[in-house]
Amino acid sequence: MTAQGSGGTVGWSARAIAAAVRAGEVSAEQVVSDHLHMVTSREDELLAWAYLDPDAAVAAAAAIDRDPGSAGPLAGVPLGVKDVFDVEGMPTANGADIPADGPAGGDAAVVARLRAAGAIPFGKTVTTEFALFRPGPTTNPHDPTRTPGGSSSGSAAAVGAGSVPLAIATQTAGSVVRPAAFCGIVGGKPTFGAVPRDGLTLCSSTLDTIGLFGRSVADVALGLGVMAADRAGFTAAELDRRARLGFSRTFEWDELEPTTRTAIEAAVERIARDVEVVEVDLPVEMQGMATAHRAVMDVEVVDHLAAVRARHGALLSPELRRRLDAGEGWRWAYEAALAHARVGRDHLDTVFADVDALLAPAVLGEAPSIETTGDPLLCRQWTLLGTPAVAVPGLTGPAGLPLGVQIVAPIGRDDLALGAAELVEGLLSS
């Protein structure tokens, strides 16, 4: 394998890059050079990066090239890091207007694991203010007038534009699945707690989950396995035509745009030609989970940002200050919301009793205007429950923009989520 064409290694999968670098078929420096050129060629319009360190990336690549045969499973793979994680030598600004305290003195746990596996951080990708809902400057790689989604906007846009093969994200409400769907890429949100959060600026201790964007399920599975230090648990289960998938319209089906409902139903019909698909009605005990999620999230955001608010309140956006004020009003519902989540988890065995995984809607419609980040409604339930969820592309809306579906599996069965996602990925692209 050799780098060919004007884009060189741009467009290669993370797996292909790593295999070629380890085999000495292409240098890590060439990979980095190709992708840095892609970054600069798109950045004026995309605005995906909050901080770039090309010199550090080139130096890391040179170190790998001195002994490529001993490099890890992500040897030479360019990486974007959402700007809520610490990366040694880089500031962590959290998408806020508050001056950073200076460069981080070390890597967040997931960054350290990815770096040890050979991945090369290019810099920090744009996030919304403290990973919440104020839109950042990043545009959708398919239409600059549309949002890439939030809060992992820069990471999703960078992968969607081909600037990097992998980028780290987080999901507190829907910020892995939703941006992946809007940008036409794969987004993997693992089981809650599977990936360590050391070195991450938290919004919600109950909800914050670290995920990953890539252009294929296989790449995301590889990266998540490294991040979780559990390659076996994140190896996609080999599902074939004997698989049984559930199709859940969820309680929010009527909230979807009619064209999105039609697109999802057509996708289910296409999948059902090759794999058994059965409709699954969620237990009534799981109704209202999205509202419970909102209560948990909003109260915990107030608590996690209390010190920042006390010290830098005047530098917070009016939108965030209003959000924090409103969050105080959810305290009466907080304990009941946590109890409701426990009840929902107790009923997951019923949901997955006869299916390997669920296919469910991911977004209400195509990416809306750049003035918003889109609605995370369809992700809230699964985030609160802590299940693994994988956004899979392959659908389009009336404007020709990407839509995604999400594959959900039982808690702790990330292998099933990834296996079913890989199966659906292949069927929707065939």
Catalytic residues: 82, 151, 175
Tokens standing for residue 195: 């990936």
Residue indicated by tokens 């426990």? 342
Identify the CA nearest to 70 among candidates 122, 116, 12. 116
Identify the CA nearest to 355 among candidates 267, 412, 416, 405. 416
Buried/exposed 195-232: b ≥16 CB within 10 Å, e otherwise: bbbebbbbbbebbbbbbbbbbbbbbbbbbbbbbbebee
Tokens standing for residue 266: 């057509």
Integer Cα distance of 222 and 119 in angstroms: 12
Query: What is the residue-wise DSSP string for 370-400?
Result: TT-----HHHHHHHHHT--EEEEEEEE-TTS
Integer Cα distance of 421 and 427 in angstroms: 10
Integer Cα distance of 117 and 372 in angstroms: 36
